[in-house]
Structure 1
Amino acid sequence: MVDLMLDDLIGLGKKANKIKESKWGKKVFFIKNIHLNYTNICVSKCKFCAFAKDEGDDDSYSMDIDDIIGYIAKNGIDANEIHIVGGLHPHHKFDFYVDVVKSIKEHFPEKVVKAFSAVEIDYFSKISDLSVQDVLKKLKSAGLDMMPGGGAEIFEPKVRNIICPEKISGDRWLEIVEIAHREGIKTNATLLYGHLESFEDIVRHLEKIRNLQDKTGGFIAFIPLSFHPENTFLSHLKPATGVDDLKVIALSRIMLDNVPHIKAYWVMLGEKTAQVALKFGADDLDGTIVREKITHSAGAKSKEGLTLDELVFMIKSANLIPVERDSFYNEIRVY
């Protein structure tokens, strides 16, 4: 599989696109969603992160439940999905996070709550003295519908120990996600590339995702994330090239034959590269997002959000079929 990354770009893209079209034809999916980053205060010091702050920093913030409900009411009233991730706050109790989910469901029962990465779940387990299974049961009972795929970064220990030494290991990430799948909670999965990893590290990462999917069937989508070095401790690195972006998208589609969807995450790729990625194996553009903070803290040049009309235009101008979906890829409207 490493040889595929050395293949010519167009040949690789054709292989990936053939697989994509065998699954979804000309359809490209998107969702009306909103990202909610409830705090940037974080006890972890990941070298690739430009978002996290220490408590007391001038630009640090933490939303309480009223803030969260107000933000959704103002910015996400038409959204079908609330995507929630944040820093590992040093003082919040686990009950706070349960109450966040419960309050959102009470105010917006029709919306899917996709919340908390495996890293956050591990942290909740530590601060509550509960098992991961019990943490997930409580969150699911409160209204958690699914989990995002963040925190996977790169599973290779040597690289992971450099870019995020305080974060849970790759094996722990896989363990927590497997428990979530057993509890009936679907998740996404991610890969962060374009930093210190090798092609071999990327292939091994994808193999572990594929193996867990064979075991649980719980992954809905895979999202390759292109690293943005600006304002991070790795700012000396050059970002991934457009060729790198397209090759990783294509390789993901080829290797992850058992994961239904591959996302071209336009926030990190930029709108134009994301559009081209739809011909290199990606079948999903994520969504409207409204206001993305994490990648833009690292200098992303994409917009903070896209309108439905902009997403439809991106897809149609690529001679593909826009399909609005829900969080579980049930079709809402074909444009």
Structure 2
Amino acid sequence: MADDVARLKVIREKVEAGQRLSFEDGLAMEESHDLFELGSLANLVRERLNGDLGFYNVNTHINPTNVCVYTCDFCAFRADLGEAKAYVMDRDQVIERARQAASRGATEMHIVGGLHHKLKLDYYIDVVRWIKETAPEIHVKAYTAVEIEYFSKITRVSTEEVLKRLIDAGLGSLPGGGAEIFHLEVREKVCGAKASTEQWLDVHRTAHRLGLHSNATMLYGHIDRPLHRIDHLVRLRELQDETGGFQTFIPLAFHPDNSEMSEIPKPSGMMDLKTMAISRLMLDNFPHIKAYWVMLGLKTAQIALSFGADDIDGTVVHEKIYHEAGAETPQEVVVDEIRRLITEAGRVPVERDTLYRQVNRGDGRWTSGERIATPALAVLNPR
């Protein structure tokens, strides 16, 4: 206990001075049982960056297919080609989903899915194009680095060329999925067949060079240990130092149901909040940390707004991946409920678009204003 107090005292001094925490500091926080001190430190950084603002967006998810060449142990969403639950959305279905999103005022469509054995890159490009042709005002955040790397492999062109073709079709940014855990000791066991750590990082590096912003994630609470999680955060921090292209980090709580790892219990609420706080403290150069309510649950996501998170995600319609894995959260939360949760947490609700511009609504239409600044980021970023 005395060692814990002493180590956290040194970490507090660093945080208050705006100094970068080391790998060893990260491990010390992982080993600490003082959740409230970690939360207090994370909240200090969170308010330094984003004040009392609590961000959300009006979005919808679309998973074009669940058929996938990869068989990741943690995934309950995927299907084999001949399986009864296998599906591929056609043009009319995608267009109808875009129309639904536009009619309810969505500013973003989030697209991720399986890597179908028989679908060509053209299909995935067409999905983006069909959406933009139907609802040009909607921002398309599409395809994880794992998907981009797979598209590159099947077409035998560079990831840069794949990204350029998607941008031409209307791609606006990349989601952060597929990162899972970077450390080889874990990655080989849970998702060894798909894009490597280096490939995942390089896709985002390339996207940032092309002017795209992206998100980053970490799937925690399965066979990962503190060493693996801190290693993951440090690698993300290093790439952000290099490119500055990441907007948001989303810690993703593992859901074991219906997966090959169903014997592993879900992460506890303690682990959820601790991981949120440590993420905020280690990722000093990330503007935003998101509490993804679909995986955390609404109550934990609300509390996370005092443990480093400044974003609670959005209305999230038609989410399939985590609900297949046993998420018991609703498929959709209305804006009034999101705003109430944020206000009740002592934060000021702000609707943002994908690029963190404030959304203004009136007369049934919406517009994006200026990008919401995080003025203290330059102080925390040692570059």
- TM-score (normalised: structure 1): 0.98
Q: What RMSD over aligned residues (CA atoms) do the two structures have, in Å?
A: 1.1
**SS state of the match for residue 166, structure 1?**
coil
Q: Which of 59, 63, 73 is equivalent to 2:99?
A: 73
Q: CA deviation at 1:45?
A: 0.1
Distance across 2 between alignment mates of 1:243 and 1:205? 20
The answer to whether the 8 A contact 1:40-1:51 is kept is yes
Worse-matched range after superposition: 224-233 or 100-109:
100-109
- Report what 2:366 is aligned to: none
Matches within 5 A, 1:212-223: 212-223=239-250
Q: How many residues of Structure 1 are paired with residues of Structure 2 in the alignment?
A: 334
Q: CA deviation at 1:130?
A: 1.1
> Structure 1 regions of 5+ residues with no counterpart?
none
Q: CA deviation at 1:237?
A: 0.5
Q: CA deviation at 1:72?
A: 2.2
Percent identity of the aligned residues?
50
Larger radius of gyration: 2
- Report what 1:274 is aligned to: 301
Q: CA deviation at 1:317?
A: 1.1
- TM-score (normalised: structure 2): 0.86
Do structure 1's residue 5 and structure 2's residue 13 form an aligned pair? no
**SS state of the match for residue 223, structure 1?**
strand
Q: Which of 71, 79, 82 is equivalent to 2:109?
A: 82
Q: CA deviation at 1:75?
A: 4.5
Distance across 2 between alignment mates of 1:213 and 1:183? 15
**SS state of the match for residue 21, structure 1?**
helix
Distance across 2 between alignment mates of 1:225 and 1:16? 18
Distance across 1 between alignment mates of 2:31 and 2:41? 14
Residues 18-45 of structure 1: CA distance to partner in whole angstroms, max 9, x if unpaired? 0000111110000000010111111100
Matches within 5 A, 1:284-303: 284-303=311-330
Residues 79-109 of structure 1: CA distance to partner in whole angstroms, max 9, x if unpaired? 0000000100111111111222122111111
- Report what 2:265 is aligned to: 238
Distance across 2 between alignment mates of 1:277 and 1:5? 17
Worse-matched range after superposition: 166-175 or 225-234:
166-175
Distance across 2 between alignment mates of 1:148 and 1:30? 16
Residues 260-297 of structure 1: CA distance to partner in whole angstroms, max 9, x if unpaired? 00000000000000000000000001100112110010
**SS state of the match for residue 295, structure 1?**
helix
- Report what 2:84 is aligned to: 58
Could you tell me which amino acid in structure 1 is paired with residue 112 of structure 2?
Answer: V
Residues 294-326 of structure 1: CA distance to partner in whole angstroms, max 9, x if unpaired? 001011111111110110011011121100001
**SS state of the match for residue 292, structure 1?**
coil
Q: CA deviation at 1:154?
A: 0.2
The answer to whether the 8 A contact 2:102-2:135 is kept is no
Q: Which of 109, 115, 128 is equivalent to 2:155?
A: 128
Q: Which of 168, 187, 195 is equivalent to 1:160?
A: 187
Do structure 1's residue 23 and structure 2's residue 74 form an aligned pair? no
Q: CA deviation at 1:6?
A: 2.2
**SS state of the match for residue 54, structure 1?**
coil
Could you tell me which amino acid in structure 2 is paired with residue 292 of structure 1?
Answer: E
Q: Which of 27, 33, 41 is equivalent to 2:59?
A: 33
Do structure 1's residue 97 and structure 2's residue 124 form an aligned pair? yes
Distance across 2 between alignment mates of 1:54 and 1:72? 27
The answer to whether the 8 A contact 1:229-1:238 is kept is yes
Q: Sort the Cα spacing of 1:53 and 1:93 in 2 relative to 1 into closer, same or farther, 3 A.
A: same
Distance across 1 between alignment mates of 2:355 and 2:232? 24
The answer to whether the 8 A contact 2:62-2:112 is kept is yes
- Report what 1:326 is aligned to: 353
**SS state of the match for residue 16, structure 1?**
helix
